[in-house]
Amino acid sequence: MNLFINLFSLMGPLRPPEYLGPETLMPLASILAAIAGFFLLFWRLIVKFFKTLYRKVRGLPDEVPPEVDVDDPTEEEQNK
Amino acid sequence: MMKKVIVIGLDGFEPKIAEAMMARSELPNLQNVREQGGYARLGTTYSAQTPVAWSTYSTGTNPGGHGIFDFLSRDPKTYLPVMALSRYEQKNAFVLPKVVNMRRGIPFWELLSARDVPSTILRVPCAYPPDPVKGRLLSGVGVPDLRGGFGTPTFYSTRKDLHADQSEKVVAVNVEGDRVATQVIGPRDPKTKSDHKFDIHIQIVKEENKIVITSQGQPDKLEVQLGKWSKWLKVRFKVGMMQSVTGIVRFNLRQIEPEFELYASPVNFETEEPLFSISHPKEYAHELAMKIGRYYTAGMAEDHDGLNLGRFDEAAYLDQCRIVMRERRRMMEFELGRFERGYFYCLYDTPDRLAHMFWRFREAGHPSNRHHGYNAEYAGAIEEHYRECDAIVGEAMKAVDDETLFIVLSDHGMNSFQRGLNLNTWLYENGFLALKPGVQPGESGDFFQNVDWDKTKAFALGLGCIFLNLKGREANGILNEEEAEQTRQGIERGLSGLVDPERGAVAVRSVSRREQIYSGPYLHEAPDLLVNFSEGYRVSWDTPLGGVPQGLFVDNHKRWGGDHVIDPALVPGVLLMNRTFRAQSPSLVDLAPTILNALGVPKNAEMEGSDLLS
């Protein structure tokens, strides 16, 4: 019970303000803009991070193109 | 109407060689296509160059309809040569730079897409950035390396007396014990003008004639055998805070001792995160790599500069050509395996690149052989390569059925390049180009240094293009309409039939005015005059970038001993189809209407040619 009371008291500053105006919305707008900016800047890294994480968790091999031998005698044979 | 059209492009495949080989039954698959349908020499474009010709193939218009006249064009504000195939645009600092394709007009695959006919297009020139298409498209010639040019290789050497040519980087290295610490050179920082670099550590294993390159790249350890090409190394260049650019590079180990010498190919775009998109859809390039392995993505895959500069030898170049052909063949086989209907195209550039570098061995007296030696072993290298092309055609034919139109074609042929004409020097000697007071030809470097624009009437750049210094068009233009006409006439009279005094042969057959050979919305961008050279001649190596050297004619001493930028009538391509076609004067402009009609799609009003099958 004490825990809930303490948590509720911490939320005090986040409770909806009684007055809504530009100066009260500014912090919220800044936070949203920062989040959007972060995703825009690092979207590819984020996607890559989660893809890598997914592959690691599932135990899948790294997603790299197959290695091809520079000298491929089978094709030389095909041409003959 | 056909269900499928399959086109195999063989860049620079020379009809005279092909005809002789077919007559000797050395190209059985091409002969087979010929017997099923027909064969003809194919009219090419003014000028006979890969980007110009394939753009005409794509759009069905002469170059005046698509705006590609040469690899190079000029900026009328500065007179400097600029890349003609694409350009980078950044409207302001807040917008990312983008690539703009300078090939205009409508490629016929856009008409197919509008009618819901799918296409698979592999390595088509002048489609960078890639054209939107229903299906898949991988860009070819026009895709730069990571430094933004046609390809800048790097040569690592312990020799201290080496100087870098304009088109390469030379890195002096020290061997400490059995180790060399050096860097792969990546893109240039546009702000600081310095190069971004990627660290590599080389361990020399003398007893096994190899080196092991250790790096943060992929793979982290890469073996390179003496005289061999390595597998791809994926490298990453940090270009800013949390920003990096990836590329792929191959190495060729030339020597371990007494001097250490290592060649690194130009850094190609990597398919997973290319700097700019090289395929449509964007992910397609990587999807293909995941199926067939990494491949050359730069438009100019074969490192002819490396051979031209003597950084490696003919044997290494042939090896590289085989690697490129295998990559391309794997691409083709994979895509043909899942191709069911619509348009399929795959271009093999190597016949052109190989013939440029091995033509000199067909002519023991070629001036290049006096400098680089003649090796009779290579006299048949082009024929041997043509047999490889024939085998590829045979492989592609496995996908042909009764409802397939099968086409094999080349954009132009190939010829000898023994002598070069210093076109700007000719203009100078004949009063059309002026140098600043006190400066003589030979004292003026590239890029028209020391040209007096206030007295210059005409100048040459690119491969045989002449521009007039017109008032209101060029920055320091001096010619009005009447004077321009006089200048045109003067140049035509002087150059047509020009004789090379050393050989007593006619070097220039004729000069074409742009209005005679081009029409369409981009006519105004064309060079004013085009020089049509005779067999064995071309503009000199100093001309394309605006040099004014001493003397009119020079021997071609470079290993690049064959060329095709001569009178287009002398270098037609080949055309083979598995259906009977109009064999009288077919031309590149006829291909787009033929393919469209075969797939039941009408051509557009801009297309100049006609259906070869009707």
Residues B482 and B395 occupy one common structural domain: no
The reply to whether B410 and B442 lie within a common domain is no
Q: Which of B588, B112, B8 lies closest to B345 in space, CA to CA?
A: B8
Spatial contact of B573 and B413, defined as CB atoms under 8 Å apart: yes
Q: Are B382 and B17 a contacting pair, CB within 8 Å?
A: yes
Of residues A4 and B13, more confidence is placed in B13
Q: How high is the pLDDT of residue A80?
A: 43
Flag whether pLDDT at A9 surpasses 70. Answer: no
> What's the pLDDT score for residue A60?
77
Nearest CA in chain A to B389: A79
What's the ipTM?
A: 0.72
**Adjacent-strand bridge partners of B120:** B136, B344
Would you list which residues of chain B are within 8 Å, Cβ to Cβ, of chain A? 218, 228-231, 242, 271, 273, 289-294, 323, 326-327, 329-330, 387-388, 391, 395
Q: A67: nearest CA in chain B? A: B293
pLDDT recorded at residue A74: 53
- For chain B, residues with pLDDT lower than 70 are none
A42 contacts B242? CB cut-off 8 A:
yes
B384 contacts on A by Cβ (under 8 Å): none
Q: Can you say whether the dihedral through the CA atoms of B371, B374, B379, B382 is positive or negative?
A: negative
Euclidean distance between CA atoms B202 and B199, whole angstroms? 10
Q: Which residue has the tokens 């990559």?
A: B327
The residue with tokens 């005046």 is B64
**pLDDT attached to residue A17:** 63
CB within 8 Å: A68 and B229: no
Assess if residue B211 is contained within a domain: yes
Q: Report yes or no on B88 lying in a domain.
A: no
DSSP state of A13: G
Among B228, B271, B329, beta carbon nearest to A70:
B228
Question: Is B528 inside a domain boundary?
Answer: yes
B576 in a structural domain = yes
Q: Do A72 and B326 touch (CB under 8 A)?
A: yes
Residue A2: predicted pLDDT: 57
Query: pLDDT at position A76, please?
Result: 47
Residue B108 belongs to domain with CATH number = 3.40.720.10
Reported as type and span, the H/E element at residue B402 is none
Q: What is the 3-state secondary structure (H, E, C) of B481-523?
A: HHHHHHHHHHHHHHHCCCEECCCCEECEEEEEEHHHHCCCCCH
Per-residue pLDDT tens for B354-413? 999 999 999 999 999 999 999 999 999 999 999 999 999 999 999 999 999 999 999 999
Phi, psi of B235 (to 5 degrees): -120, 155
Mapping DSSP to helix (H, G, I), strand (E, B) and coil, where does residue B268 land?
strand
- Are residues B15 and B136 both part of a single domain? yes
The span from the CA of B86 to the CA of B100, in Å, is: 5
User: How far is residue B560's CA from residue B540's CA, in Å, rounded to a whole number?
Assistant: 12
pLDDT value for A79: 46
Instruction: Inform me whether the pLDDT recorded for A77 exceeds 50.
Output: no
State the nearest Cα–Cα gap between B473 and chain A, in angstroms. 43
Same domain, B127 and B165: no
Question: Token pair of B275, please?
Answer: 């700097």
* A-B Cβ pairs (cutoff 8 Å, strict): 40
- Give tens-digit pLDDT for A14-65: 566 677 788 888 888 999 999 999 988 888 788 888 888 888 888 877 778 8
Residue B239, pLDDT score: 87
DSSP, residue by residue, A25-76: HHHHHHHHHHHHHHHHHHHHHHHHHHHHHHHHHHTPPP--PPP--SS-HHHH
**Would you say residue B149 lies in a domain?**
no
Contact residues on chain B for A72, CB-CB shorter than 8 A: 326
Across the interface, whether the CB atoms of A68 and B293 are under 8 A apart is answered: yes
Q: How far apart are CA B12 and CA B34, in angstroms?
A: 19
Domain that holds residue B304: 4-68+103-143+299-414+571-598
Per-residue confidence (pLDDT) for residue A3, from 0 to 100: 54
Structural domain count, chain B: 3
The secondary structure of residue B474, as a DSSP letter, is: S
Residues B205 and B251 in one domain: yes
The answer to whether A63 contacts chain B (CB < 8 Å) is yes
d(CA B599, CA B65): 23
Residues B448 and B515 in one domain: yes
